[in-house]
Amino acid sequence: MLSLFTIFITSFIIALSGAMMPGPLLTVTIANSAKKGFWEGPLLVLGHGILELLLVIAIVLGMSSLFKSNVFLISVSVLGGGMLIYMGYDMLRNAKNLSLNPQKLNTKKSVSDKST
């Protein structure tokens, strides 16, 4: 069985790998927070944290050999690449709706903006 220190280091490295480089999660977090408000950011981070926890549990339970297999690597690569292609397509499709005019933005008013 793995020691607690080994589990901690493995968890830390997996989490750090997701936080070191800005990527699709950061893009989605920024876009959804701008559209839907503050709580979208923490919810996306929570979802990412749950996924990281599941990966750590899977590694601890001995599934690292599955993760090292070529079939798994190719499957994850194809699915991840497909998701990135979809996200790029969706960004291009919605580009016509973008505006820098604050009056055209469809954002929620904050509590301080409401008149009493």
d(CA 1, CA 45): 30
Question: Is the domain of 50 the same as that of 72?
Answer: no
Name which residue leads in pLDDT, 65 or 111: 65
Domains of the chain: total = 2
Asked if residue 99 has pLDDT above 80, the reply is: no
Give the pLDDT of residue 107.
Answer: 55
Helices (H), 1-116: 4-20, 24-36, 40-60, 64-67, 70-94
Question: Same domain, yes or no, for 17 and 72?
Answer: no
On whether residue 111 sits in a domain, the answer given is no
CA distances from 7 to 10, 14, 60, 100, 108 (A): 5, 11, 7, 46, 42
Query: Does the structure show a pLDDT above 60 at 1?
Result: no
User: So what's the pLDDT on residue 80?
Assistant: 93
Confidence of residue 8 (pLDDT cuts 50, 70, 90): confident
Task: Give percent of the chain with pLDDT exceeding 70.
Answer: 80
- Among the three residues 19, 37, 62, which one is the final residue of a domain in this structure? 62
> Residue 88 sits in which domain range?
67-95
Does residue 49 share a domain with residue 88?
Answer: no
Claim to verify: residue 34 and residue 76 sit in the same structural domain: no
